[in-house]
Amino acid sequence: DGGITQSPKYLFRKEGQNVTLSCEQNLNHDAMYWYRQDPGQGLRLIYYSQIVNDFQKGDIAEGYSVSREKKESFPLTVTSAQKNPTAFYLCASKRDRANTGELFFGEGSRLTVL
């Protein structure tokens, strides 16, 4: 089945550690996105990529890093520089780079910093 797969679904991290969240899609979509959601809030954009080997900062990129070495993969690293990393992280993709078209989401990864 085509879709977006995020892993792990749950992750616990000690303060000061980096952690990488995986996002893989087999939809042949060009554009991929990472969003963060805090309890009771809407989603905020962290990073996005319109094409392989290119990505742009979103509204809350500080303390995060990404790579886009393959079309189907867009991993997100939460670094120790991120002041408040506990959150729900959602990866999304869209067929093309245009400003139209439907966005689809993975099931999310819940990160808890102990």
Instruction: Catalog residues that contact other proteins under the rule CB under 8 A.
Output: 31, 33, 35, 37, 41-45, 48, 50, 56, 58, 88, 90, 92, 94, 97-105, 107-108, 110
Report d(CA 106, CA 21) in Å as an integer. 12
Cβ contact 71:30 at 8 Å: yes
Q: Which CB, 15 or 102, lies closer to other proteins?
A: 102
Residues in CB range of 96: below 8 A, 6 or more apart = 29, 30, 31
Min. distance of Cβ 80 from other proteins in angstroms? 25
Q: How far is the CB of 102 from other proteins (least distance, A)?
A: 4
> Considering beta carbons, is residue 81 or 103 the nearer one to other proteins?
103
Tell me: cis bond preceding 85? Omega within 30 of 0 counts. Answer: no
C-beta of 33 vs 82, nearer to other proteins: 33
Q: How far from chain centre, in Å, is Cα 89? A: 6
Taking the complex as a whole, the smallest distance from the CB of residue 40 to other proteins amounts, in Å, to: 8
Which residues is 48 bridged to in the sheet? 33, 56
Nearer to other proteins, 63 or 108 (CB): 108
Question: Closest separation between CB of residue 31 and other proteins, Å?
Answer: 6
Number of H helices, E strands in the chain: 0, 11
